[in-house]
A and B are shown apart, each in its own frame.
Chain A
Amino acid sequence: MRIKPIHLALALVGLVLGLLLSVQFRVTRDTMKFPQVHRVKTMADKIHDARAERDSKQEQINKMREELDKEAAGAALGALKEELVDARIESGLTGVSGPGIEVTLNDSNLEVKNGGNPNWYVLHDEDILKVLNELRAAGAEAMAINNQRVLSTSEVRCTGPTILINRNQRIAPPFVIAAIGNQDTLINSLEMRNGVIDSLEPWGIQVSIKKVSRVEIPPFPGSISFDYARPVPEEQK
């Protein structure tokens, strides 16, 4: 039997059909692989890596600080060392302790009244900021929220039910604000009539203040860098 053009045409049709079928099969199989799931997994891996890197860097920082302390312990550097200690307390790089108060804030346990906005019954970043501000005004020397040091550069940001502080350290209620300073002044500043606590209590926000004879305030965990601000030369002051 001779091979006629008709046979070649049939082979060609078969070839094209096979090609179409298999390519389509592959495309469909690739679609079924859920690219989103894959993406989420890579993102999670990336976050995990970044966390591990952050932790190792933190360890490095701690080690280098220790070394620095050892170096500074030399007798010849006595005066400089004192200055350094003062500067570090001031900048929050050293943990400090002393008499002070602890303010515990928690979301309201009242039921939301009919037509009431549930937002009124939870703590917001503004409430925390108000308390911090009042404590600062009353002369608090060092403050921390949930063991996160509060510096002049610390942000307090709202992210849903949690609050971010110190470059995105996440803290959740109850918020314990520790402050070192004159205990009576601090407490009076908060309990002032029409003050910050008066403004929170109608919504049932739970506030409790207690005097603590020895408040421990941890050091700022990160480093403080000034990329833009430069000291002004003496003569220009």
Chain B
Amino acid sequence: MWIGVWLAALGLALGIALGLNLPFTVPQAYAKYMSVAVLAAMDSVFGGIRAAMEEHYDNRIFITGFFSNALLAAGLAFIGERLGIDLYLAAVVAFGVRLFQNLAIIRRHLLKK
């Protein structure tokens, strides 16, 4: 369990360092899609932590969920923009609500211990 957490933290630190030092950034036009993708990714991570605490964590579900949620959210925002509907708002609301729910459940688990 703990080695996984440490490796994930290490990866996170490495990713942040890498992102801050990249010689290029995403063009402004794509920033909106990426913000939704970030939200989806964070939701997946908290969902994974919650699952681990409830002891029904499944690695395959977690990995596929992480990437497909992020891509789906970004794609939804992109399509919404093309159609003239602010679909990214739907993603923000959906993932935002889930994020808070997951956080609340994680908190309960931590308090119960």
- Show the binding face of A for B, using Cβ within 8 Å: 1, 3, 5-28, 30-31
Given contacts A18-B14, A26-B25, contact A1 B31 (CB under 8 A): no
Once A3-B3, A23-B25, A27-B28 are accepted as A-B contacts, the answer to whether A18 and B11 lie under 8 Å apart by CB is: yes
Query: Nearest Cβ distance between residue B51 and chain A, in whole angstroms?
Result: 13
Indicate if the CB atoms of A22 and B20 lie closer than 8 Å: yes
Interface string of B1-18 (1 = CB under 8 A from A): 001110111111111111
- Is the Cβ of A22 less than 8 Å from the Cβ of B16? yes
Q: Contact: B15 with A15, CB < 8 Å?
A: yes
Question: Which residues of B9-66 are within 8 A (CB) of A?
Answer: 9-20, 22, 25-26, 28, 31, 34-35, 37-38, 41-42, 44-45, 48, 59, 62-63, 66
Residues on B with beta carbons closer than 8 Å to the beta carbon of A23: 19, 22, 25-26, 34
A-B contact number at CB 8 A: 113
Please report the total number of B residues contacting A with Cβ < 8 Å. 37
> Which of B4, B25, B28 contacts A7 (CB under 8 A)?
B4
Residues in B neighbouring A24, C-beta threshold 8 A = 26, 31, 34-35, 38
Question: In the complex, what's the smallest C-beta–C-beta distance from B79 to chain A, in angstroms?
Answer: 20
**Is B99 an interface position by the 8 A CB rule?**
no
Q: Is there contact, CB below 8 Å, between B38 and A20?
A: yes
Closest beta carbon of chain A to B57's beta carbon, Å? 9
A17-B65 Cα distance, complex, nearest whole Å? 13
- The interface residues of chain A lying within 8 Å CB-to-CB of B9 are 14
Given the interface pairs A17-B42, A17-B45, A27-B34, the reply to whether A6 lies near B15 with Cβ below 8 Å is: no
B77 CB within 8 Å of chain A: no
Of the candidates A9, A19, A30, the one whose C-beta lies within 8 Å of that of B63 is A9
Chain A neighbourhood of B91, CB < 8 A? none
